[in-house]
Structure 1
Amino acid sequence: MKNTVLKLAVLSFVMLGLSVQAQKKKDEKKVELSVAEKKKALEAEKARLIKPYNPKENAEVELSKLIEKAQAENKNIIVQAGGNWCIWCLRFNQFVQDTPELKSFVDKHFLYYHLNWSPDNKNEALFEKYGNPGEKYGYPVFIILNKNGEMIHVQESSGFEEGKGYSVDKVKEFFEKWADASK
């Protein structure tokens, strides 16, 4: 009798282990599916968003033109460094464009430039000139230039994040701080 009880206990233990392994495999498949679903949703979101970065553009020439315009208009320049591959870069651009109080503030107080960093065009000379902030902070990263093109501030973007987007208050505070600085 003891032997039968012992065999049943061992059998139950083995069955429990097999059941746990089966559940673990199901959970792993759910995670794989979830990752695939998230990737698909991310790609769909990227496809919908405006692509403000131009890897074919000569950024040094464009920025020189912008500096001339900044001097004429007495405005600072926001350089948003990143690329069309970067969902957070695209989200930030869309966020500013779709938030009337931010868009009007930026249009009134700044000139805005999207500095491309991608395998197609790394704009190495410009990034080196500004201390390669993308290597330090990731993307997007913001470089504030005064009207003469002198760098006066570099800002990483994670402090602006809120959920899957950005905080209006934090972004507005950032814009306000650098609108009139060092003109």
Structure 2
Amino acid sequence: MKQFLGIVFFVFFGSLQAQEWQNSFDEAVTLANAEDKPIVLVFSGSDWCAPCIRLKKQILESEEFKAYASEHYVMYNADFPRKKKNELPQALEETNTSLAEKYNPKGHFPLVVVLDKHQSVLGKTGFNVRTMPKKYISILNGFIQ
């Protein structure tokens, strides 16, 4: 029974610490204004871009990054999947395309853009396989200072 309660505690505590990806960019902007946090806008190709997949696995899904991001950033993923089975709803696809035209006109993938709550660009970065979560957090925070 103690083991079961321990598992329930860690699942519940982990869900509180996990960063939450916003479902729409409008929600991200609203939350950024309400909580006075920067927006981390990630341009990715989730089903075709190998560096995007590595960024997600190595950095964005790491416990260290998720815990930090939940307290300090508003997260939004502008995804551009290519496979039919991963196709986005038309409205979301249009939003992501509009964001790409504004913030990623050269079409770099992955591209991580840090925005202030007014949607002004504070900085942009990509992904290096040698970068660890702590260093990536430092890079993002360097844009905010």
Instruction: Please report the TM-score for the alignment, with normalisation by the length of structure 2.
Output: 0.65
Matches within 5 A, 1:130-149: 130-134=103-107, 138-149=108-119
- Residue from 96, 101, 105 that aligns with 1:128: 101
Larger RCO (CA under 8 A, 6+ residues apart): 2
The structure carrying a bigger helix percent of its residues is: 1
Structure 1 residue aligned with 2:9: none
Structure 1 residue aligned with 2:122: 152
What amino acid does structure 2 have at the position aligned with 1:140? Answer: P
- Assess, with a 3 A threshold, how the Cα gap between structure 1 residues 77 and 96 changes in structure 2: closer, same or farther: same
Structure 1 residue aligned with 2:44: 82
Structure 2 residue aligned with 1:173: 138
Deviation at 1:132, TM superposition (A): 1.2
**Which runs of 5 or more residues in structure 1 are unaligned?**
1-52
Are 2:52 and 2:109, in contact at CA under 8 Å, matched by a contact in 1?
yes
What amino acid does structure 1 have at the position aligned with 2:141? Answer: E
Percent of residue pairs bearing the same amino acid type: 21
Matches within 5 A, 1:1-183: 62-84=24-46, 85-119=48-82, 121=93, 123-134=96-107, 138-157=108-127, 160-162=128-130, 166-178=131-143, 180-181=144-145
Instruction: Please report the TM-score for the alignment, with normalisation by the length of structure 1.
Output: 0.53
What amino acid does structure 1 have at the position aligned with 2:39? Answer: I
What is the root-mean-square deviation of aligned Cα atoms in Å? 2.5
**How many residues of Structure 1 are paired with residues of Structure 2 in the alignment?**
113
